[in-house]
Amino acid sequence: MKKKISNTDKKDWEDFINNNQKIPDKDAPYEKHINKISKTLDLHGYTLRDANIAVKNLIINSYNNKIDRLIIITGKGMRSKNELDPYKSSKLSILKYSVPDYIQNDKELMDKIKKINFDDVESLNSGNFSITLKKKK
């Protein structure tokens, strides 16, 4: 079905093309949320000591480089079989619990952190947690 373009529509189109005025950006109010920068660190295969060092370095470097949010992947999600192993502790030897504990006990790191998402840490289905960093002064 072909519809003939009216003269009014043609004139409106010509006016639009020839107009140098900028079109208002309807998404501008949302841009401040889009510009947030995040980094991810996957701790699969790390020892507890190496994981703590890597997390500390990530937090300090991210804070200094004005990164807003960090995602730490510990690998302790619902597919992990650690809790079925009688020789492994369900709390103490798992990066999921020990890394957030390490962060909380380090004053230098906590001074740079606005929030740690403990809901993700406590969730049985989550193998990661997020950290929101403060703005560098």
**Residue 20 included in any domain:** no
Cβ atoms 80, 93 nearer than 8 A: no
**What pLDDT, in 10s, does the model give residues 32-68?**
555 567 899 999 888 889 999 999 999 999 999 999 9
Q: Kindly report the CA angle at 65 between 56 and 39, in degrees rounded to 5?
A: 65
Residue 50 in tokens: 């190496």
Residue 105 amino acid letter: N
**Residue 18 included in any domain:** no
The region that residue 66 occupies, defined by phi over 0 for left and psi between -120 and 50 for alpha, beta otherwise, is: left
Banded model confidence at residue 107, pLDDT cuts 50, 70, 90: very high
Residue 36: name the closest of 123, 102, 114, 111 by CA.
Answer: 114
**Residue 7 included in any domain:** no
CATH at 96? 3.30.1370.110
**Residue 33 included in any domain:** no
- Total domains present in the chain: 1
**Residue 57 included in any domain:** yes
SS3 breakdown of the chain: % helix, strand, coil, rounded to 5? 40, 15, 45
Highest mean pLDDT among 9-13, 27-31, 111-115, 123-127: 111-115
Domain containing 50 equals 38-133
**Which residues are within 8 A (CB) of 69 and not within 5 positions of it... i.e. 6 or more apart?**
36, 37, 38, 39, 130, 131, 132, 133
pTM value is: 0.62
**Residue 10 included in any domain:** no
